[in-house]
């Protein structure tokens, strides 16, 4: 196999990481000049900034008016854990998982909370479990978009409107890029560093009225750390959902999130964000359709993510290798692309099958993905030539 010449065009921005994701187009540190650094988050200016972040989240994400939105510690992980530890217990739980993060929530519920009535619906990477088996008279925990598998639920039609249990949805790599069916969701969580390219460490927790009712009527049988507590004397602590955070937030990170929200607002809101992600995915989709060596990890086209796009190397010689050798091959490609400064951080997740993972969320420019595609062919050819030479 002959190697290919270097492509003529390079991505202007080689940041295709699936989290933290690239900043919005045109971002610079000057965007943070209005951050109230050295000021208390409880001062008027701090409370105003935090409340504005909540209000803009509601506007752009199109969250129903009667849903609460809170800024919470520890990124999306913290938001999910708050929901699991605070809400679960009164009903049996159906846990739905098809990739690493969903599997982590299963572990938490089964091995940490040790709930007695838990059913698991799991599928291997690249597939969804049979969603028809879920009993929505029970509480249900699932991810909307599997960040490490590139597999998402197509929509919320599998969730009945008249459910008795709560639906707890980790939507961190879906929010702002895929339509979330809020009437079907009682808890939605995400983090700032995904589709909007914000900074880490802060999570968002969105609660339906049904979730609030559960919080106010249910007292867990286990101790709750301070950062998980959302009620006092049986009533919701409303301040959490007005910007009075449980612990000290970074006002620099808040300013960065506000900048991303204002950018989203300026380009047309949720519809524009989703259109950007769809256009980015379409670039990769066209390339994969024409490729002889690259395919999708997600088997069903209807479940393929438009954000965390996970790809498999399907070249027969490479696909026939053992997992370790396949992983080494894929990582070799990633190293080549990194050294050429055309793509950073596009290796598969550590627990996922070997391949590539390219972020296509709204902050990525379509032109950068178009420039990247020939480099994938180049890196594959280089790595394949090295593989054959060493065989």
pTM above 0.85, yes or no: yes
Q: Where a domain ends, among 232, 265, 298? A: 265
- Residue-by-residue DSSP string for 328-391: HHHHHHHHHHHHTTS-BS-BPPTTSPSSEEEE--TTS-HHHHHHHHHHHHHHHHHHHHHHHHH-
The position carrying tokens 């994400």 is 61
Residues 128 and 56 in one domain: yes
pLDDT of residue 133: 98
Residues 118 and 258 in one domain: yes
Is the pLDDT confidence value at 367 over 60?
yes
Distance between CA 173 and CA 96 in Å, rounded?
17
The pairing of beta strand 202-207 with beta strand 68-73: antiparallel
The position carrying tokens 């209807």 is 302
Sheet holding 308-313, edge to edge: 294-296, 308-313, 356-359
Is the pLDDT confidence value at 1 over 70?
no
Q: Where a domain ends, among 265, 288, 322? A: 265
State the total domains in the chain.
Answer: 2
Mean pLDDT for 15-23 is: 98
H/E segment holding residue 146? strand 145-146
Token readout for 5 is 């010449």
Token readout for 121 is 């619906």
- Determine contact, residues 376/14, Cβ cutoff 8 Å: no
Q: Where a domain ends, among 265, 291, 314? A: 265
pLDDT of residue 131: 98
Average pLDDT, the chain: 97
pLDDT of residue 2: 65
Name the DSSP letter for residue 277: H
Domain span including residue 335: 269-390
Residue 185's CATH number: 3.40.640.10
Residues 184 and 282 in one domain: no
Is the pLDDT confidence value at 19 over 80?
yes
Mean pLDDT for 318-347 is: 98
- Determine contact, residues 183/62, Cβ cutoff 8 Å: no
Residues 185 and 230 in one domain: yes
Residue 364's CATH number: 3.90.1150.10
The pairing of beta strand 118-122 with beta strand 93-97: parallel
Residues 97 and 160 in one domain: yes
Q: pLDDT digit string (tens) for 115-133?
A: 999 999 999 999 999 999 9
């Amino acid at each position: 196999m002959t190697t290919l010449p270097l492509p003529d065009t390079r991505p202007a921005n080689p940041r295709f990481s699936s989290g933290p994701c690239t900043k919005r187009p045109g971002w610079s540190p000057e965007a943070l000049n209005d951050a109230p650094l050295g000021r208390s988050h409880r001062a008027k200016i701090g409370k105003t900034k935090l409340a504005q972040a909540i209000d803009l989240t509601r506007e752009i994400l199109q969250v129903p008016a009667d849903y609460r939105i809170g800024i919470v510690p520890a990124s999306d992980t913290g938001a999910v854990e708050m929901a699991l530890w605070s809400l679960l217990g009164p009903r049996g739980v159906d846990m739905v998982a098809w990739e690493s993060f969903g599997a982590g929530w299963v572990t938490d519920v089964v091995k940490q909370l040790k709930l007695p009535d838990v059913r698991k619906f799991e599928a291997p990477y690249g597939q969804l479990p049979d969603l028809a088996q879920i009993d929505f008279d029970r509480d249900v925990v699932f991810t909307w978009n599997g960040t490490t598998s590139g597999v998402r639920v197509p929509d919320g039609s599998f969730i009945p409107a008249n459910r008795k249990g709560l639906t707890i949805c980790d939507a961190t790599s879906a929010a702002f890029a895929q339509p979330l069916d809020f009437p079907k969701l009682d808890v939605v969580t995400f983090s700032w560093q995904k589709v909007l390219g914000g900074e880490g460490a802060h999570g968002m927790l969105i609660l339906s009225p049904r979730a609030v009712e559960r919080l106010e009527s249910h007292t867990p049988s286990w101790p709750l750390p301070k950062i998980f507590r959302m009620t006092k004397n049986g009533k919701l602590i409303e301040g959490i959902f007005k910007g009075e955070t449980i612990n000290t937030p970074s006002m620099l990170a808040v300013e960065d999130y506000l900048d991303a929200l204002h950018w989203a607002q300026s380009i047309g809101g949720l519809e524009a964000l989703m259109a950007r992600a769809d256009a980015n995915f379409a670039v990769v989709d066209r390339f994969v359709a024409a490729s002889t060596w690259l395919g999708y990890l997600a088997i069903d086209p209807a479940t393929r993510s438009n954000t965390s796009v996970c790809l498999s190397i399907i070249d027969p010689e490479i696909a026939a290798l053992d997992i370790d050798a396949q992983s080494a091959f894929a990582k070799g490609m990633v190293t080549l692309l990194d050294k050429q400064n055309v793509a950073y951080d596009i290796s598969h997740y550590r627990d996922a099958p070997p391949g590539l993972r390219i972020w296509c969320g709204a902050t990525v420019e379509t032109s950068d993905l178009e420039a990247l595609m020939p480099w994938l062919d180049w890196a594959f050819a280089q790595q394949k030539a090295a593989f054959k030479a060493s065989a």
